[in-house]
Structure 1
Amino acid sequence: MSLYQIRVEDIDSNIVELSSYKGKVLLIVNTATTCFFTPQYEGLQDLYNKYKEKGFEILDFPSNNFKDAKGTIDEINEFCVKNYQTEFKRFKKVEVNGDDESILFTYLKRHEKGLFNQKIKWNFTKFLVDQNGKVIRRYAPMVKPEKIAKDIEKLLNNNK
């Protein structure tokens, strides 16, 4: 199975095939709106602003696994846009661990280098994916988005 065979649901209930992101560098993040790390939305938006024209996308997957993504997806989206002016793609809430875990997060955890299938420990775990759909790196929640910029640039520059 390839990352590009996975389908997810966006906030408008549209099915999105991840194959539509072929050729893009992706940062896939499980997020929450009432978490210690919620202010990272600002840094994520900064990354998006800086690299979106160069082939970079952020895929935001709210998750209530840790009880910090309360409310409907519309309320979550409104919060993010109002408080952090987010413009990157947001998807329906997903489970990132457990029996009802999203196939996307199962895939990401199974294909990350060195940490095979390790549970996601908290919100704002970030997965960097290259233009070919390969999971390059997993970042812990405490890693601020600006610390990922060099890795993003390296991938974007490798594609030239």
Structure 2
Amino acid sequence: MSVYDYDVTLENGETYSLRKYENHPMLIVNTATKCGLAPQFKELERIYERYRAQGLVVLGFPSNQFHQELSDSQAAAQQCRTTYGVTFPMHQIHDVNGKNALPLFDYLTSHQTGKLTRAIKWNFTKFLVDANGHVLERFAPTTTPQKMIPAIEQLLAKSL
């Protein structure tokens, strides 16, 4: 299995297969617009702008599981666009832990656990996925996107 075996839904309700991004490295992030870490959206957008020509895809998955997200997926995506200039795809609001978790996040957390547990502890947990759809690395919420650049560049060098 790989991340390509999952379907996800954009904030506008359009469902698609992650197979759409086959042969592209991905950075998958659980997000929340009202989180104190929300300024990371700007850094994530800079990474997306800098590396998308090399094939990198950044995908935002809002979650209100930590009570820091708007209740409407489209409103959350719009806030990301207007406040932080986000142009990468944003998805519908879903749980990232527990029985109602988006299946993609069950897959991600089963392949890259946290330090103490597999569960996502906070917003802005980030997963780096290779061009074959395999989860390579998990970054803590407080790891800034800027600090992930060496891992991203190493992944992109292998993908060429």
TM-score range relative to shorter protein = over 0.9
Amino acid at match of 1:29: V
Counterpart position of 2:59: 59
Residues 1-160 of structure 1 mapped to structure 2, 5 A cutoff: 1-112=1-112, 118-160=118-160
TM-score normalised by L of structure 2? 0.95
Give the Cα separation in 2 of the matches to 1:38 and 1:114. Answer: 21
Give the Cα separation in 2 of the matches to 1:153 and 1:61. Answer: 23
% identical equivalent positions: 38
Give the Cα separation in 1 of the matches to 2:78 and 2:3. Answer: 29
Q: Which runs of 5+ in 1 are unaligned?
A: none
Give the Cα separation in 1 of the matches to 2:158 and 2:2. Answer: 21
Instruction: Give CA-to-partner distance per residue, 1:68-107, whole Å, 9 cap, x none.
Output: 0123112111111111110001110110011101100000
The runs of at least 4 aligned residues of structure 1 exceeding 3 Å deviation read 113-117
Give the Cα separation in 1 of the matches to 2:112 and 2:6. Answer: 16
Q: Which runs of 5+ in 2 are unaligned?
A: none
Residues 18 and 117 (structure 1), Cα distance of their counterparts in 2 relative to 1, 3 Å cut: farther
Residues 36 and 116 (structure 1), Cα distance of their counterparts in 2 relative to 1, 3 Å cut: closer
CA contact (8 A) 1:13 1:92 kept: yes
Residues 116 and 3 (structure 1), Cα distance of their counterparts in 2 relative to 1, 3 Å cut: farther
Give the Cα separation in 2 of the matches to 1:117 and 1:101. Answer: 16
